[in-house]
């Protein structure tokens, strides 16, 4: 597949929401409960960010960055009750800007993060293709404008492989056990359009970049726990084999919990905690511990968050970040948040103000509509 073909495919995929939304309006409300195959369903997440690093012990690091972050289109083509195809595209800043020069919508690239085949049989779900294996959840749901900054380091994404997940209900809640084996993407899909982030190669090294199914992750996720409404947890282990030139294999374990509690007067209090430990992190001769702790309050359209993150490397030292943020969710579905972060990274103290605007659209032709 050349870059022109990839551009055409990306354009067609981003055109799907318009057609799907139009078709959805013409369907009766009950259509989502009894899908007519084949169907197309998905959601489009939009996110605009502005980060102003206004004070640093290194003045040359101060700059303003207005950019797109994690604008994702997730599409499911339901072929039958068993078989489906998943497609995911991301439009975001694919290269870090270089301070002190300000950046306004620079280095924006489009890439395909998911293209896989899925088979659902009873409580089993099987996946084959380019996908995102489960491992932790702080990188996705930690509260606040800057709440996921460190946990995103260990997110597993853009890998080719095979996965199987089994969901089971017990007297102690609903649980999903998932097993994935994979390797890092080094195909043309590791590149990006508009701004090309460059193609990955085996020679680049890095844990998991082996071109073989010699990497795996095993995770357990639970929710709907009796007498613990709003509680969920995750446990996981992963093994990433050493890539070219690496010191050794990476092994990691993770544990996380999160809970939302109604405390009265329409107020919801949320807590989250996740800890991950890695030996030979990234294939290097260094061990790492990541810790994320967060709290949130929500009342009606208003919400506020306080989150702390620690990233400790045995050799390179310790970074930490504390952020506080607040926001308002409009009836139209837009959410506007403002945050402040104090970060100590690489021995330097930085202070950043951030603004984030998000909006989610979901659509379907006849199948179930994904939740935003």
Asked if residues 37 and 80 have their Cβ atoms less than 8 Å apart, the reply is yes
Domain extents for the chain? Answer: 3-364
pLDDT (mean) for 164-187: 97
- % the chain with pLDDT above 70: 91
CA 264, 322, 220, 212 torsion-angle sign? positive
Spatial contact of 154 and 137, defined as CB atoms under 8 Å apart: no
Average pLDDT over residues 256-282: 97
**Higher local confidence (pLDDT), 357 or 5:** 357
**Sign of the C-alpha dihedral, residues 282, 352, 257, 152?**
negative
Query: pLDDT for 279-327, tens place per residue?
Result: 999 999 999 999 999 999 999 999 999 999 999 999 999 999 999 999 9
pLDDT given at position 299: 97
Residue 174 in this model has a pLDDT that exceeds 60: yes
Question: For the purposes of burial, counting CB atoms within 10 Å of the CB of 2, is it exposed (0-12), middle (13-18) or buried (19 or more)?
Answer: exposed
Q: What is the mean pLDDT of the chain?
A: 92
Provide the β-strand partners of residue 276: 254, 290
71-124 confidence digits (pLDDT tens): 999 999 999 999 999 999 999 999 999 999 999 999 999 999 999 999 999 999
Q: Which of 33-37, 197-201, 340-344 is predicted least confidently?
A: 33-37
CATH number of 3-364: 2.40.160.10
pLDDT at 30: 40
Query: Three-state SS string across the chain, please?
Result: CCHHHHHHHHHHHHHHHHHHHHHHHCCCHHHHCCCCCCEEEEEEEEEEEEEEEEEECCHHHCEEEEEECCEEEEEEEECCCCEEEEEEEEEEECCCCCCCCCEECCCEEEEEEEEEEEEEECCEEEEEEEECCCCCCHHHHCCCCCCCCCHHHHCCCCEEEEEEEEEEEECCEEEEEEEEEEEECCCHHHCCECCCCCCCCHHHCCCCCCCCCCEEEEEEEEEEECCEEEEEEEEEEEEECCCCCCCCCEEEEEEEEEEEEEEECCEEEEEEEEEEEEECHHHCCCCEEEEEEEEEEEECCEEEEEEEEEEEECCCEEEEEEEEEEEEECCCCCEEEEEEEEEEECCEEEEEEEEEEEEEEEEECCCCCCCC
Give the residue from 137, 151, 170 showing the smallest Cα distance to 278: 151
Contact between 248 and 242 (Cβ < 8 Å): yes
What's the confidence (pLDDT) of residue 19? Answer: 36
Chain position carrying tokens 């309050």: 297
- Residue from 311, 330, 248 nearest 283 by CA: 248
């Amino acid at each position: 597949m050349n870059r022109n073909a990839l551009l055409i495919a990306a354009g067609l995929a981003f055109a799907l929401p318009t057609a799907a939304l139009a078709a959805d309006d013409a369907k009766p409300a009950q259509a989502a409960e009894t899908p007519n195959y084949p169907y197309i369903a998905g959601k489009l997440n939009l996110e605009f960010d502005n980060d102003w690093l206004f004070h640093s012990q290194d003045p040359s690091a101060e700059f303003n960055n207005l950019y797109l972050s994690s604008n994702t289109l997730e599409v499911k083509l339901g072929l039958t009750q068993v078989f489906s195809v998943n497609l995911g595209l991301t439009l975001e800043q694919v290269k870090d800007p270089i301070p002190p020069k300000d950046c306004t919508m620079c280095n924006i690239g489009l890439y395909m993060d998911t293209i896989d085949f899925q088979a659902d049989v009873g409580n089993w779900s099987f996946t084959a293709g380019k996908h995102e294996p489960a491992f932790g959840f702080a990188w996705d749901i930690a509260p606040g404008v800057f709440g996921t900054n460190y946990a995103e380091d260990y997110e597993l994404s853009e890998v080719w492989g095979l996965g199987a997940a089994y969901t089971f209900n017990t007297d102690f809640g609903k649980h999903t056990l998932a097993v994935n084996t994979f390797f890092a993407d080094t195909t043309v899909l590791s590149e990006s359009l508009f701004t090309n982030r460059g193609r990955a190669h085996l020679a680049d090294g890095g844990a998991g970049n082996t071109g073989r199914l010699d990497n795996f992750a095993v995770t357990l996720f639970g929710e709907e726990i009796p007498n613990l409404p709003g509680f969920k947890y995750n446990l996981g282990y992963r093994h990433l084999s050493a890539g070219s030139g690496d010191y050794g294999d990476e092994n990691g374990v993770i544990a996380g919990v999160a809970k939302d509690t109604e405390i009265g007067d329409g107020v919801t209090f949320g807590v989250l905690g996740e800890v991950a430990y890695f030996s030979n992190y990234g294939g290097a001769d260094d061990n790492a511990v990541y810790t994320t702790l967060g709290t949130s309050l929500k009342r009606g359209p208003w919400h506020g968050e306080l989150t702390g993150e620690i990233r400790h490397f045995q050799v390179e030292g310790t970074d930490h970040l504390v952020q506080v943020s607040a926001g308002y969710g409009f009836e139209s579905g837009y959410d506007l948040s403002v945050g402040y972060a104090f970060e100590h990274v690489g021995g330097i103290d930085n202070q950043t103000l951030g603004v984030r605007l998000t909006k989610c659209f979901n659509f379907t032709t006849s199948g179930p509509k994904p939740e935003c």
